[in-house]
Amino acid sequence: MSLSIAQRLHRLDARIAEILCWRERASEPIEQWRCDGRPLSLGDPWPHQEGVLAFTAEAEVPAAWPLDETRLHLDVGGESLLTLHEDGAGSTRFGLDVNHREFPLRARRVRIETESVPRLPFGQPVHHPRLAEARLVWIDPAVHRLALLLRQVWETATALQEHEAVPHLLAAAEAALRLLDWPSATGVYLARTAPLPQQQAIWRLPPLDPRPPALGEAERASAVAAHDGLAAALRGLKERFPPQGRLAITGHAHIDLAWLWPYAETRRKARRTFHTALRLMERFPGFVFNQSTAAYYAQVEADDPDLFAQVRERAAEGRWETIGGLWVEPDTNMPTGESLVRQALYGQRYFERVFGRRHTVCWLPDCFGFSPALPQILRQGGMDSFFTIKVNWSETNRFPYDLFQWEGLDGSRVLTHTFDNPIQGYNGTIRADCVLPTWRNFRGKTAHDESLLAVGFGDGGGGVTPEMLERQAQLTDFPALPELRPARVEEFFGRIRERAAVDELPVWLGEIYLELHRGTLTSQGRTKRLNRQAERALIAAEVAGSLATLLGGPAFGSLEPAWRGLLKNQFHDILPGSSIREVYEDAERELAAARDAGLDRQAEAMAAIAAALPAGGTVDALVVVNPDLSPRPLRLELEGQAIAPDLTVPPLGIVVLDLAALQPAPGLSAGWSTTGSHLENRFLRAEIGADGTITRLLHKPTGRDALAGRGNQLWLYPADKPRSWDAWDVEADYDRQGFELTGLESSELVEDGPDRAALRLVRRFRDSTITQTLTLWANAPRLDIHTRLDWHDRRVLLRALVPVAVRAETASFECAFGVVRRPTHRNTSWDQAKFEVPGHRFADLSEPGFGVALLNDGKYGHSALGNVLGLSLVRAPIYPDPLADEGVQEFTYAILPHAGDWHEGGVREAAEDLNQPLLALPARNLAAGLHTPLMVSGVKAGLAALKPAEEGDGLVLRLYEPAGARGPLSITAPEGWRLGEAVSLLEEPAERDQVHDLEPFELRSWLLRPGR
């Protein structure tokens, strides 16, 4: 009677376990250690768990052991950077973690040093760390190779399932096993097999030899023969069942810049991972490794120059592939367009300066959806290809392509690839159950004969292991599996361009929305608002400094150091709010520093502007700068005093005003009572009910009521408790358990003109306080709702809902350098999945002739269902930061009714006004007047940047078309300056073949040069 396939697989699994009991020929413990100078014995607990601990010991390999068969086995109880000082062979370093615990030796005497932290790779604390294992081990290569090869046969047969090659694979393995001459003497056999689970389950084992002998020479020869016979049989089967498909293998270590550990630990993770990769290159000549992120290289360059020099050597050889082109792997939903530009600008400049090359592939495996502005930014930043895999995480709809062209808002396209590996995604491994389904899942195989697979432990770093590379070498002989080859990522994409009809690939147009992790648009609100403030402060600082230079003032240098601090904290686990508390302590400090650097530069620039202006008879002058490309009402707060005259500052204009002569715009009034209040100017009349909601919002220019119900309803959802990914997710049915917060603790009129009127409303929910100040400026067409949360409740979602008197099938949400239009209905599963979506400074519902926008100065999670605009205000998850959003945070959102659609109604300009006030500086004895050093006219454009050039003494002007229009542009430079050539985002000459000066959603840059 023959055994079934399942029975034979079970038997093979058991035999492999038996064979592995002889992998170690002998071992010697390393018992005497010191930890931070204190004596420590093998098995002892750590003396303390604070900071980075240093473990040291010495060991000597027994004279009878071949050095090339000797390994150090080490587990000190946490993650470590391991340094081996080997007599006569110098020093080598490795990463030591749960996946890397066996290390080769190059000398018989070795001094061991570690820099250790009591943490596991994903940041989990080791609560009771101890020196768990320290041994010198003499391995038996014959046993190791045979067991690994048999294991791969078992895995392949299991993965192939009903494939006709399976019986032949098992027959080959069984034939190899029959060649073995295996020990059976009772004492030796019981001692060797004692670690097996079945033996460990026995009530009491007999006395065991602590040092059982290894295989004898004849037995070892039988293992070699079994291995060689099996390998030959596999090669024969490969002829009969040839490889199915091809996978390009890139060694990889995804290192989250911060996540479940603080940034200081990431610096150590990078060093550990880099050393591990370098040691593997020494042992495996064909090994190719890729590592993204310019910021990692910059930090290693600073922390470990010797390590950095080794990386540069391997990069020059082509075996270490620096990749990605960006400063970090950022979130792309929330950063402003200019932040994404700077990721490419400063990333590519760093790679070119340090490694002598730029990158053509954007490597973003782990981000939570992708802005439709990204293809254009990548193309102008020198990258024509894009890689991710996170689209495979969508829970509702399967993304339809894995090899395609991604077309952005403006029509720019990048070649895009994603692979679907069910075994840890981009942290893949070399196993049949990884490589086979990755190939099977590749839907682009009709267009191209190869997919990509990144292998190596990641997220917490670590990277590739020796076993992965040994497995890859063995699998070259296997039948019916994909052919594996080591490859560089940029070469892989280049091969697609050479061999596939790229123009015939399917095209995905617009944003790539991830149907998961929607809560990342709201979690950690303080960090998100600081990000917005830092972005606006740096952009405005560069504009002000450039205007000062154009007026004849000093040339200001690059703000790259401050931008780097901002860009770092836009990493895809920092800005989304999905990291531990320590990360946000760092992030809030660093983002505040970036913001303050921008504010300091603004102050310097304003002083330089004032110094360059002509003297005159205005004793108490006010210098006002408009850092935007749209006319702005003169509306600002100066030393706590509101100023709102009926005046406008032109685009990029500088006005000198007589401060004493400024008069408020007429028409502002306010009234308060316990039954209802109102705020009114010549644009709006807002009526506020006794419950604090807006019962009416009249838009006077059109005579339209903006609301279709009570506005600014505050809703609480106490069941914001996702089944997993607490900080990341909002469940689709979160709103089934929700209620409106209607009670008011107090209301009072706190400001009553003439420039500004304000009504303060205080509400309480359990342990939290919500204070909102409804503000109307004398010259403003919007109603501001300044919100101060003193939040002390967990896992409760707070949202603001505004039902508007508009009917539209789509709503417009600002994104980087444009807008995304999304349905207000839930017709299809794709529509239903977009119940919470990203938006920058505004979301808008418009019908012909009229619309209403919801503006904000630091929120990103929006919704639009029917005629209701929603904005998520706070979430307060408990994992991975139990105190996320705890305490005080402040922000402002605003309701803006307008004539026409959002573009005609000036919604973007009003949102900019809310986010970046005019710049003002009191001065003395200046001539009143207007100065416009730089003038831009033609098609309505948005200002992305006006900044110092990174090279030379010029300036860079960057504009974008925000709405999908096209037309001519006229740019007039001041005397002594000239408009130079159009340039790319890398500030190099850019060729262009277009009819209009600015095409729909196009981003363009020019150099401004001194002289004629």
HSE, side-chain direction, 13 A CA sphere, residue 309: 3
> Crossing angle, helix 337-355 and helix 525-550, to 10 degrees?
80
In 841-986, where does DSSP find H-type helix?
A: 907-915
Question: Helix, strand, coil % (nearest 5) of the chain?
Answer: 30, 30, 40
Closest to 276 (Cα-Cα) out of 297, 300, 255, 253: 253
Residue 863 CA to chain centroid, in angstroms?
23
In order, the DSSP letters of 615-633 are EEEEEEEEEEE--SSS-EE
Give the Cβ contact number of residue 971 at 10 Å.
Answer: 16
**Hey, what are 725's tokens?**
């990914």
Nearest to 491 by CA among 662, 359, 593: 359
R_g over Cα of the chain: 33
Amino acid at 347: G
Main-chain dihedrals φ then ψ at residue 125, nearest 5 degrees: -70, 140
Amino acid (1-letter code) at residue 938: G
Contact partners, residue 268, CB within 8 Å, separation at least 6: 52, 79, 81, 115, 117
**Facing residues of 715 across strands?**
740, 799
Residue holding tokens 């001094």? Answer: 111
Question: Tokens at residue 888, please?
Answer: 């005080």
Catalytic residue flag (residue 573): no
Torsion of CA 786, 791, 796, 800, to 10 degrees: -10
Q: How far apart are CA 645 and CA 919, in angstroms?
A: 15
- The gap from C-alpha 836 to its chain's centroid, in whole angstroms, comes to 19
Is the four-CA dihedral 102, 107, 110, 114 of positive or negative sign? Answer: negative
Contact between 678 and 671 under an 8 Å Cβ cutoff? The reply is yes
State how far the Cα of 478 lies from the Cα of 432, in Å rounded to an integer: 10
Can you tell me whether residue 993 is helix, strand or coil?
coil
SS3 321: strand
In sequence order, what E strands does 494-535 have? Answer: 507-509
Quickly tell me which residue has 């997710």 as its tokens.
729
Q: What is the largest CA-CA distance in the chain?
A: 112
Contacts 24+ apart (CB under 8 A), 235-240: 235/477, 237/165, 237/168, 237/169, 237/172, 237/478, 237/479, 237/480, 238/477, 238/478, 238/479, 240/165, 240/168, 240/479
Report how far Cα 732 is from the mean position of its chain's Cα atoms: 23
> What are the tokens at 562?
């401050």
What count of other Cβ atoms lies within 10 Å of the Cβ of residue 452? 25
Please report how many Cα atoms fall inside a 13 Å half-sphere around the Cα of residue 312, on the Cβ side. Answer: 17
Structure tokens of 509? 């147009």
Could you tell me if 590 and 884 are in contact, meaning their C-beta atoms sit under 8 angstroms apart?
no
- Among 256, 366, 459, 573, the active-site one is 366
Please choose, from the candidates 618, 525, 530, the residue with its C-alpha nearest in 3D space to the C-alpha of residue 576: 525
The backbone torsions φ and ψ at residue 796, rounded to the nearest 5 degrees and listed phi first, read: -125, 120
CB 402 within 8 A of CB 419: yes
| Residues acting as catalytic residues | 366
